[in-house]
A = this chain, B = another copy of it.
Amino acid sequence: MAVTIKDIAKYAGVSVTTVSRALNGYPDVSEETREKIKKIAEELNYSPNSIARGLVTNKTHTVGLVVSELIKPGAYHPFFLEILAGIKAGLRKDKYDLILYTVDPTSQDVTPYEKLCNDRKVDGAIVEGLKLSDPYIEEIKNTEIPTVLIDIPILNDKVGYVSSDNVQAAFEATSYLIKLGHKNIGFINGHNDAAVSFERLEGYKKALYKNNIPYKDEYVVFDDFTQDGGYNCFRKMIFENPEITAVFHASDLMAIGSLKAAQDLGMQVPDDISIVGFDDIELSSLITPGLTTIRQENYKIGYMAARHLVSIIKGEKPRHIIIPHRLIIRQSAKKI
C-alpha cells in the first residue's frame, strides 16, 4: 500500500541500501544519485516507516510524559496545560513525539515505571505530579531510562530534574510580608508528600530567622494543595491564633480557599488579614482582591524539562535546572 524504500530503489535502479543512505545523508553516495533518489521519494510521496526504523535502531524518537493526579480530587491540575505547552515547544525542535501517560495512584494495576516506558519503547520520559510516597520514585532513583522530573529532586546518571527555587521563593514571599510590618505570619503548607513543601517551609523559616522573628510550630499547618484544604486550615488557624495578621500559602488554590474563609468569617482582605499565595494561576489575577503570589514560569519549566531530556538522551549529564520565579504584588496583602 504505502510506498516503501524498496519502491524507490526499483524506480531509481539502485539498491535499498543506497536509498537509505542517500536519504539519511550518508557521504558514500554521489550527489547525482542522491538528487535522483530524493526527487523520486518526493514524487512518490514517500515517508519513512518509523516503526520499521525503530525496530532496528531501537530508538523511537518518542518521549513519554507521565503525569499523576491529572484530576486531583475536586479539581483539575491547575497549571498542567502550561507545562504541557512548554514541553511540546521544547520537543518541537528535535521532532520528538509525546505520548501521554496518566497514572492514577488509586488504581489497581500500577504498571511499573520501567515497564511503562519499555512497552512503548520511549527514548525517555518527563515525570510530573508524583508524590514522594509514590512507588515510581524508588524506581526512578535507579532507572537507566533518561528521565526528567518536575519538582522532585532526584539526580543520577540518567535522571535530572527542573524546578523553581522553592526555598528562595518562599523566603521572598515571607520577607515581603515581614517588610509590610507583619510579625505573626501563618503558613498554610502543602502536604508533606511533596518535595516542594519541605523547601517552602525552609524558605519561610529562613525569612523569619533572618528578621529575628521566632518560629512557631502552631503557625504552620499542612494540607493538600486544594481550595478546600486552604479553607479549612484558615478557619482553624485563625480560630486558634487570632493574633495572626498574614498567611502565606503553598498554592494559590489554598490562598483562594483562605480568602473565601476569611470572607465567610466577616474578615476583610487585605484590611484584616493579608494573604499571599504560590503559583500565580490564572484565576489569581481575576478575583477580588487580586492575589499577591509567587509566579512560577510553568511554561518555561515544561520547556526546559523537554530540552534537558533531549540532552540527556543525547548523552549529556543530567542536572538540576532552576527556573526563575517572581513575586507578583497585587492587592491581597498590605502594610500594617
Whether B119 lies near A50 (C-beta < 8 A) is: yes
In the complex, which residue of chain B has the Cβ closest to the Cβ of A260? B286
Q: How far is the CB of A51 from chain B (nearest CB, A)?
A: 5
Copy total for this chain: 2
Whether B97 lies near A98 (C-beta < 8 A) is: no
Q: How far is the CB of A59 from chain B (nearest CB, A)?
A: 10
Q: How far is the CB of A293 from chain B (nearest CB, A)?
A: 16
Whether A81 lies near B77 (C-beta < 8 A) is: yes
How many residues on A have C-beta within 8 angstroms of the other chain's C-beta atoms?
A: 39
Whether B55 lies near A52 (C-beta < 8 A) is: yes
Q: How far is the CB of A146 from chain B (nearest CB, A)?
A: 16
Whether A100 lies near B99 (C-beta < 8 A) is: yes
Q: Which residues of B contact A193 (CB under 8 A)?
A: none
Q: Which residues of B contact A121 (CB under 8 A)?
A: 49-51
A102: which of B50, B80, B82, B85 is its contact (CB, 8 Å)? B85
Q: How far is the CB of A278 from chain B (nearest CB, A)?
A: 18
- Is A118 close to B, CB under 8 A? yes
Q: How far is the CB of A1 from chain B (nearest CB, A)?
A: 9
Whether A99 lies near B98 (C-beta < 8 A) is: yes
Taking CB atoms and an 8 Å cut-off, the chain A residues in 50-83 that contact chain B are 50-52, 54-55, 60, 62, 70-71, 75-77, 80-82
Query: How many Å lie between the Cα of A54 and that of B49 in the bound state?
Result: 11
- Is A265 close to B, CB under 8 A? no
Whether B97 lies near A70 (C-beta < 8 A) is: no
Query: How many Å lie between the Cα of A321 and that of B324 in the bound state?
Result: 45
Q: Which residues of B contact A101 (CB under 8 A)?
A: 97
Could you tell me which A residues sit within 8 Å of B by CB distance? Answer: 2, 47-52, 54-55, 60, 62, 70-71, 75-77, 80-82, 84-85, 88, 97-102, 115, 118-121, 256, 282-283, 286-288
Could you give 16 example pairs across A and B, Cβ below 8 Å? A48-B119, A49-B55, A50-B119, A50-B121, A51-B51, A51-B54, A51-B60, A55-B55, A70-B84, A70-B85, A70-B88, A71-B85, A88-B100, A99-B99, A283-B286, A288-B288
